[in-house]
Amino acid sequence: MNCREALPLMHEYLDGDLQGSEAKALKEHLIACTACHTLFRELERTDAIVKSLPSVRASDDLSARIMNSLPPLKKRSSWMEWVRRHPAVSVAAVFAVVMFGSFMSMWNDDQQLMVKGTDLQNVVIQGDTVIVPKGHTVNGDLVVQGGKLEVEGDVTGDLTVIDGSLNLASTAHISGQVTKVDEAVSWVWYKMNEFFTVFSK
């Protein structure tokens, strides 16, 4: 037996819980090891002092008084408990609400004309009207927001009009898809698709 094994056995011996072969092995170790023997004597003295102290008995109503003095437990609301148990879903829901709110505020703020495309040299802008003249071709996609779009020529990509009007002449030719976004929800969906398309590139 080494000193590390002897220490817990000393405590068990002083508590009266050590018997048999372990008690015999502890006694043999204490005879052979002077450091453990000295420590055991100090533990015996400490144990004797503690046992000689007068016992303090708490009054019967002490526990009740302590419990009554504690502040009452606050009841957690059921939705807060649900949020605590499902943090990932809660974060996703908050993110969706914030994104939707920001898109809605952008929908209300976007009153100015915006024209976006890769080939705008064949586009004429007069006030809030964007014109693709007859005989001219816009190569690629064309996006007009907050204005009127009049197409008399050709567009070789997709055509998107957001919160505006679209007028296609009989001479107009659109090779891509024509999308008109007038409602806020459609606009949010369009913006989210645009965001994830850019993000995935």
Tell me which residue range forms the domain holding 165: 108-200
Residue 29 shares a structural domain with residue 112: no
Residue 64 placed within a domain: no
Residue 44 shares a structural domain with residue 112: no
Residue 112 shares a structural domain with residue 189: yes
Host H or E run for residue 200: helix 184-200
Residue 62 placed within a domain: no
- pLDDT computed for residue 112 by the predictor: 79
CB atoms under 10 Å from CB of 4, counted, come to 7
Residue 89 placed within a domain: no
Q: Domain total for the chain?
A: 2
- pLDDT computed for residue 58 by the predictor: 57
Residue 113 shares a structural domain with residue 193: yes
- pLDDT computed for residue 188 by the predictor: 62
CB atoms under 10 Å from CB of 197, counted, come to 9
Residue 114 shares a structural domain with residue 195: yes
Residue 95 placed within a domain: no
- pLDDT computed for residue 154 by the predictor: 92
Residue 136 placed within a domain: yes
Host H or E run for residue 148: strand 148-151
- pLDDT computed for residue 52 by the predictor: 79
Residue 124 placed within a domain: yes
Residues 6, 30 contacting (CB under 8 angstroms): yes
Residue 44 shares a structural domain with residue 128: no
Residue 47 shares a structural domain with residue 112: no
pLDDT along the chain (201 residues), means of 10: 85 84 88 90 86 66 76 71 78 80 62 83 88 90 88 90 86 87 64 65 55
How many Å apart are CA 49 and CA 40, to the nearest integer? 14
Residues 115, 144 contacting (CB under 8 angstroms): yes
- pLDDT computed for residue 133 by the predictor: 92
Residue 21 placed within a domain: yes
C-alpha distances out from residue 94 to 22, 99, 165, Å? 63, 9, 34
Residue 176 placed within a domain: yes
- pLDDT computed for residue 46 by the predictor: 86
C-alpha distances out from residue 186 to 163, 182, 191, Å? 10, 7, 9
- pLDDT computed for residue 150 by the predictor: 92
